[in-house]
Amino acid sequence: MKKPVLWGAAFALLLAGVAPLAGKTVPEPKLGDVSPMMRLITSEQYVNTLQSIFGAGLEYRVQFAPIQRVDGLLAVGATSTVMTSGAFDQFDSAARSIAAQVVDARRRDFLLPCKPAKQNAADDTCAGAFLGGTGRLLFRRSLTSDELGAYVHIAHDSAEAAHDFYTGLSNALTSLLVAPEFLYATQPITKAGNELKLTSYAKATRASLLLWNAYPDEDLLAAAESGALNTSADLARQVDRMLNSPKLEQGVRNFFDDMLVFEDFDTLSKDGTFYPAFTTKVRVDAKEQTLRTIIDHVVSQNRDYRDLFTTRKTFLTLDLGSIYGVPVRTDTAWTPYEFPPDSPRAGILTHASFLALHSHPARSSATRRGKALRELFLCQKVPPPPPNVNFGALEDPKSPFHTTRERVNFHLQNPVCAGCHRIMDPIGLALENFDGAGQYRTTEQGAAIDASGTLDGASFKDVAGLSKALHDHPQLPRCLVRRMTSYALGRTLNKDDDGWLQYADGQFSTSGYRVKDLLRTIATSPSFYAASVKADQ
């Protein structure tokens, strides 16, 4: 499995310095638009951030309004979300609940840095210590003295009114938790000479949202404060700390969950008559299986991203065993599993998640699977169908066609349809050995399944061949680079970004297509922290 050339290159890079940037001679291209953006905090970021501040012992009943997907990513939608009063109510009730738990008698001694002089009165010193420390983590910068004064004032007045220090503190904490400075990741910019760039704090936030899907922790904030994020070596050191942290998993998970459009699992339903084994638990487990496989592959094992499409290693539960037709170790909920060398199961395309998500409730769909492969993994946009399409021939139960291949052949005969379907159907047809629930089959209505096809010039005769063709497809890694960059920036990419993207492509390739290295490339790029102001701003 080891490719000596790539390992050597990676080793050389490690010796040369942490960042692949070190020692290079060509200046890194710049990204296009680097206007500052405001990003509304998501439910996951909220919980991740507050859990790291107040711990897993609190209940975080948090369900904020869903974010719209824009240009393929929720992360892009998060930068254009509007706050409504209904949405604000959710933030408010979450904030009150958490604040009440923090000051509760059984917990306060473990979560507050001090005790008030008298419990039945205000204590500005103690309140200030707590609100200042917490506010700093929530706002990702130290509070100004005016800001801190305002929150201490809230605590003071309500403590006096209620004759209880902790009531006052709870009210002040609630206010912090609904402040726009917390709920929005703004990107304050500063001028350094003639250049505009993000402040250290903004850099810290950007990096930790990308890598941890959470706000910066104390160490990162301290580095921001000390100016450490302003030198590339120190920045690289912090980025590496974050890449080696257990919290990287939650960041990478969030990225792939977004990229693979996994929120569709929430509305996925299969016809129980056709797929009785596809239970609610299987639906939940199928999503987790793929995310777990990805995390293990790209984070824990730090392997070549492309091998996700050919690896026989995954994780299974007892329930998934019925879909994959294999016995599974059952004394723990999840167990690592490796399919044997000649198994048709290898790579994400053969996961129940991909196969079931891109199918109909009662049958497979070559078109949907082909479209998904193109759009999710190759970043190739497939135009929508024309409005007057007649699906009759496809849905006809009396159709003389037995297999999907025969049925979709219709698309390819009709010149109106062929243009688009030619780029989708042949791919999806290679996956026809897997039904709409992801279960393996060799025949369809008695007829043998033919899984041959081509993918942009590469021919294959079965799903293993398709997986390899995808693995080898030059657009596969490039698509990941673009997705991740768009995710990191929170915006759609355009031509002006091409220079930087090609640079990132080169870095990704040199690293052996390692996702952690791609993350490092982005998170240590000066472009990622650059800023500009539009003419009308």
Partner 1 sequence: MKNSLNLSDVTRAVCLPALVGGVLLLASGVAQAETIGLVLTTWHNSGTFTDDAKECAHGINPDARENFRAQFKTKEEQDEAMRKYASAGYVLRGPNGESVNYSPWLVKDTLPWSDADAKVSKGLNLSGTLDGHATANTCTHKTFVSPEGEQGIDNQMYRSMGCIRGMRPGGTLDTFYLGEIASKTINRWVVEITGVDDAANDDHVEVTLAQGQDKLVQDSTGKFVPGLTQRMTTNKDYIAHTTGRIVDHVLITDAFPVVRMPTEQLDEPAEWEFKDFRLKVKLTDTGATGVLGGYQDIQKFYRLFAKVVGQHHVSMGASPPSAYESLLRNADGFKDPATGQCTALSSAYDVDFVRAFIVREPDEKNHIAAAPQPSVKGAPNTRLALKN
Partner 2 sequence: MSGFSLASFKLQVRHAGVGLLLAMTATPVHAQLAMVDEPRPANIRLQTTDEGVVFADSRGMTLYFGDDSKPGVSSCTSKVYRQGVTGNGDLYDLANYDRVPSCIEKWPPAQAGDAKPAGPWTIIERPDGIRQWAYRSRPIYTSIKDDKPGVANAGAISGRGGRTRGQAVFAPVIVPPEVRVETLGVSRILASSEGRTLYVSEKDAVGKSACDAKCATVWQPLAAPAAATAKGDWSIVVRSDRTKQWAFKGKPLYTYSEDDNAGEVRGEANPGWTVAMAYSKPKLPAFMTVQATALGKRYADANGKTMYYFTCGSKLNTDDGIERSLACDDPGDKSLWWTTDCTNEKNCADTWRPVLADEQAKPEGSTWTIVEMPLPWSPVRTLNSDQLSIRVWAYKGRPLFTYKFEDRPGMIEGQRIGIYTLTDWLSISAEGEIGPTKVKAGIASR
DSSP count for the chain of H helices, then E strands: 24, 10
Identify what 328 binds: partner 2, partner 1, none; CB under 5 to 8 Å per kind. partner 1
Distance CA 286, CA 226 (A): 45
- Find the binder of partner 2 among 34, 74, 137, 376 (CB under 8 A): 137
Q: State the residue for tokens 């109909």.
A: 360
- Binding-site ranges for partner 1 (CB under 8 A): 272, 276-277, 279, 281, 318-319, 321-322, 325-331, 335-340, 342-343, 435, 439-445
Residues 237 to 266: which contact partner 2 by CB under 8 A?
241, 244-246
Least separation, in Å, of the C-beta of 442 and partner 1? Answer: 7
Q: Residue 377 carries which DSSP code?
A: I
Q: Which is nearer to partner 1, 275 or 487 (CB)?
A: 275
Least separation, in Å, of the C-beta of 141 and partner 2? Answer: 15
Least separation, in Å, of the C-beta of 289 and partner 2? Answer: 16
Q: Residue 503 carries which DSSP code?
A: H
Q: Determine the straight-line distance between the first and last CA of the chain, rounded to whole angstroms.
A: 52
Identify what 307 binds: partner 1, partner 2, none; CB under 5 to 8 Å per kind. none
Q: For residue 536, how far is the Cα from the chain centroid?
A: 32
Identify what 217 binds: partner 1, partner 2, none; CB under 5 to 8 Å per kind. partner 2
Name residue 113's amino acid: P
By CB under 8 A, residue 83 contacts partner 2: no
Distance CA 94, CA 54 (A): 14
Give the count of residues interacting with partner 2 (CB under 8 A). 32
The pairing of strands 313-316 and 458-460 is unpaired
Contact 429, 369 (CB under 8 A): no
- Find the binder of partner 2 among 89, 195, 219, 496 (CB under 8 A): 219
- Length of the chain equals 537
Identify what 333 binds: partner 2, partner 1, none; CB under 5 to 8 Å per kind. partner 2
- Find the binder of partner 2 among 14, 161, 333, 393 (CB under 8 A): 333
Distance CA 425, CA 369 (A): 8
Contact 453, 411 (CB under 8 A): no
By CB under 8 A, residue 133 contacts partner 2: yes
Distance CA 363, CA 536 (A): 52
- What is the radius of gyration, based on Cα positions, of the chain? 26
- CA distances from residue 489 to 39, 77, 252 in whole angstroms, order as listed: 10, 11, 15
Q: Which is nearer to partner 1, 129 or 326 (CB)?
A: 326
Distance CA 290, CA 392 (A): 35
Closest among 426, 411, 408 to 463, alpha carbons compared: 426
By CB under 8 A, residue 17 contacts partner 2: no
Q: For residue 458, how far is the Cα from the chain centroid?
A: 30
Distance CA 368, CA 425 (A): 8
Identify what 57 binds: partner 1, partner 2, none; CB under 5 to 8 Å per kind. partner 2
Binding track, positions 38-57, relative to partner 2; x by CB under 8 A = -------------xxxxxxx
User: What are φ and ψ of residue 427, in 5° steps?
Assistant: -75, -50
User: Which region, judged by CB under 8 A, interacts with partner 2, from 253-261, 326-334, 433-441, 472-480?
Assistant: 326-334
By CB under 8 A, residue 113 contacts partner 2: yes
Identify what 8 binds: partner 2, partner 1, none; CB under 5 to 8 Å per kind. none
By CB under 8 A, residue 105 contacts partner 2: yes
Q: Which is nearer to partner 1, 226 or 301 (CB)?
A: 301
Q: Which is nearer to partner 2, 151 or 354 (CB)?
A: 151
User: Which region, judged by CB under 8 A, interacts with partner 2, from 110-118, 155-163, 427-435, 489-497?
Assistant: 110-118
Residues that bind partner 2 (CB under 8 A): 51-58, 101-102, 105-107, 109-113, 133-134, 137, 217-219, 241, 244-246, 300, 331-333
